[in-house]
Amino acid sequence: MKGSTVKSRAAVRAGRAVGVCRARAVVIAGCFGGLAAGWASGPASAQTAGAAGTSAETVIVVGKRLPEPLSSTLADISVVDQAAIRRQGAAAVSDVLSGLPGIAISRNGGPAGATSVFIRGGETRHTAVYIDGMRVDSQATGGAQWVQIPLEQIDRIEVLRGPAAAVYGSDAVTGVVQLLTRRGEGPARPTASLTLGSLGTYLAGFGLAGASDIVDYRVSATQGRSDGYDSRTAAAAGHNPDRDGWKRSSLQGRIGVQVNPDHRLDLSLLKSDLRAGYDGYTPGADDQNIHDLRTGSLQWQASWNDQATTRVRVGQTASSLETRPDFYRTATTLRDLLVQHEQHWGDHQLTGTLERRNDELSVSSSMPGFTGSRHQTGLAIGWRGDFGAHGVQVRVRQDADSEFGNKHTGSLGWGWAFVPGWKLTTSAATSFRAPTLYQRFSEYGNASLVPESGRNVEVSLRWAGSRSNASLTGWRNKVSDLIDWLYQQGTCKAVISDPVNEGCYFNVGRAQLNGWTLAGETRLAQFKLRGSLDWQDPRNLDTQKVLPRRDRRSASLGLDTRVAGWTLGSELRASASRFDDANNTSRLPGYGVVNLHASRSLGLGWAVEGRIDNLADKHYELTRTYDTGGRQAQVSLRWQMP
């Protein structure tokens, strides 16, 4: 993204599409409670993160967009359930993701600051993001605007590391994140929660859920705010010594109707409104980002027999960002129609997918605005065959893009359970990411841009026992035709009003993303120990420089236990130094933080949870001129009618 190089007034206008100025901050919140046996999609004993030790099989949808057992997938997948999300006490989805192997984040200040998520060293736009199966993306910035997604409405997070364009089409260059809201179950029960924390933070929520033999439903609403803190340092240009607080309200609803034993309808809706302060370039101005996110989908599922299932989903996502008092507004609308059919024959599975995607972007500002649209039609076929200890998977997809014609992607995977508890997997895949409408047609656009493309190979060794599991995964992903912001005087559109530092988007080169992840978990008496080590080398092949704001070495370690009815835990997150700029001239020191959490059931449906982040109140910067907030604490009281 251009955020690392923007210096001109014209580029600042483009940067406001994500509510950023010249720099970003990386805040690694140390939320590691979600690391567990589901990290590496290992053998049949792998469990959902946060639920190790149970015997139920974990079922996922992120691998092929249809339910499948986690134990059978050949991909590198993590699952974080509701219990783990609550235990972490995180303020944002990105905080939860930062505690998983192979993932780093960059953020401007607090949890409501502009955020990027880097899976396996890729750009934030290289991760495809979905809420209840609906794509979330910005045709202004590229990638999801993570701050718009309310974590308090998310019940489960599934992460696939590695390319998945043969399943998802454009965007899935380095990974996929599926965010799932909760269904209703059991008798009708109200729920309520209240969280109080440092910096004048509070979050209140109320919900109602239930189910009968025919209908299940859930509706929940939350309201919260925080005074925040001064996220910029005094040395920052345009520093405004105010507190950058936030206010958010969200509403979520799901209803499912079992029409008959073979047919089901599901309706899912999500609404989120966020207002967040940030420091712009005008000292003393009360700069505000105003975010809106709306998602909705309707799905029909038919089970024709034990071997054949069809799903049809139609939906829309609308997201917008407006800055004040210096007005700038972008609005993205995504419409999607998905038809999938899965057929089983013994140990063989065949999946067919037809998808129609429509993207629209509208930009308004004091500069010339514009509107644009495009569409893609995708056709995909996947086959999986199991032959004793061996599993083979082949997927191919063609996307007909209204701007770039046909794009072909594919993947080939193989798994071998060579002895009980041990599994070796290897795969190869291709991917692509089409330029955003903003990158091609805005006042800073370049209509000659071509899609970015990737080629990935990876290998993984996984082991699972009755009380422990471990995995070692390595990958190499070469990405060509990278898109970045460059200053090229005389080559950009004449509408740009700053001829000295004019700039626009270009396909500038290639990157190679190499890495290894070692992860595992074990249970010793009443203690549960988990940890991971990451070695990454995300590098620009043309300059041989390390990509900015990626931690090349990182580690996490967590310990949980139960004492006198309390669940107690501690977490350590450590990162080596990283570079703040693309030229690798500004090095930021490494850091380590310790977090604590505790929870207890109080009976009669009541529970209390508490958390302290950055226990030692360590001061560190992950991006120049941005602060990370220091020690913070919170306590939550939850109730569900018994």
In tens, the pLDDT along 401-452 reads 999 999 999 999 999 999 999 999 999 999 999 999 999 988 888 899 999 9
pTM reported for the whole predicted model: 0.89
State residue 502's pLDDT score: 64
d(CA 469, CA 453): 34
Separation CA 144–CA 148 (nearest Å):
8
DSSP annotation string for 100-168: STTEEEEESSSTTS-EEEEETT--GGGEEEEETTEEE--TTTSS--GGGS-GGG--EEEEEES--HHHH
Average pLDDT over residues 509-516: 95
What pLDDT was estimated at residue 365? Answer: 82
Q: What's the confidence (pLDDT) of residue 485?
A: 83
Q: Using alpha carbons, select from 2, 16, 28 the residue that is nearest to residue 106.
A: 28
CA separation for the pair 555, 100 (Å, rounded): 10
Tell me the Cα Rg of the chain.
Answer: 23
Residues present in the chain in total: 642
pLDDT at 489: 54
8 Å CB contact between 464 and 37: yes
| Distance of alpha carbon 147 from alpha carbon 333, whole angstroms | 17
Residue 42 is predicted with a pLDDT of 34
Local confidence band at 108 (pLDDT 50, 70, 90 cut-offs): confident
3-state secondary structure of 437: helix
Q: Where are the beta strands (DSSP E) in 261-307?
A: 263-277, 288-305
pLDDT band at 641 (very low <50, low <70, confident <90, very high): very high
The amino acid that residue 124 corresponds to is T
Contact 204, 181 (CB under 8 A): no
Q: What would the pLDDT profile of 600-626 be if each residue is shown by its tens digit? A: 999 999 999 999 999 999 988 877 888
Res 634 pLDDT > 80: yes
Q: Which residues pair with 531 in a beta bridge?
A: 520, 557
pLDDT band, very low/low/confident/very high, at 80 (cuts 50, 70, 90): very high
DSSP state of 240: -
Alpha-carbon gap, residue 135 to 152, rounded angstroms? 19
Distance, in Å, from the CA atom of 374 to the CA atom of 169, rounded to the nearest integer, reads: 14
Domain ranges of the chain: 2-242+253-640
| Across 106-119, average pLDDT | 86
Average pLDDT over residues 113-133: 94
Supply the pLDDT for residue 433.
97
Share of the chain above pLDDT 70, in %: 87
CA angle 584, 126, 172 (to 5 degrees): 150
3 state SS of 9? helix
Does residue 371 have a pLDDT over 70? yes
> What is the structure's pLDDT at 234?
67
pLDDT of 235 reads 67
**pLDDT per position as a tens digit, 534-564:** 999 999 999 999 999 998 999 999 999 999 9
> Which range has the worst mean pLDDT, 140-149, 206-215, 330-339, 442-451?
442-451
Domain 2-242+253-640 CATH class label: mainly beta
Low-confidence winner among 218-227, 426-435, 485-494 (lowest mean pLDDT): 485-494
pLDDT at 59 over 60: yes
Q: How many CB atoms lie within 10 A of CB 261?
A: 7
Cα distance between residue 447 and residue 437, in whole Å:
9
Lowest-pLDDT range, 321-335, 493-507, 512-526, 581-595? 493-507
Q: What is residue 628's predicted lDDT score, i.e. its pLDDT?
A: 85
Is pLDDT at 389 greater than 80 in this prediction?
yes
Query: Which of 4-13, 280-289, 356-365, 391-400 is the least confident region?
Result: 4-13
Tell me, what's the pLDDT at 47? Answer: 35
Residue 466 CB coordination number (10 Å) = 9
Ordered DSSP codes for 558-569: EEEEEETTEEEE
For the segment 35-56, the average pLDDT, to the nearest whole number, is: 37
Residue 96, H or E segment: helix 93-98
Question: Residue 11 above 60 pLDDT?
Answer: no
The mean of the pLDDT values for the chain is: 87
Identify the H or E element spanning 408.
strand 405-419
**Phi and psi, residue 38, nearest 5°:** -75, 0
Q: What is the pLDDT of residue 491?
A: 59
11: region left, alpha or beta (phi > 0 left; psi from -120 to 50 alpha): alpha
Distance between CA 50 and CA 82 in Å, rounded? Answer: 8
CB 397 within 8 A of CB 409: yes
**208: Cα within 13 Å, side-chain hemisphere:** 1
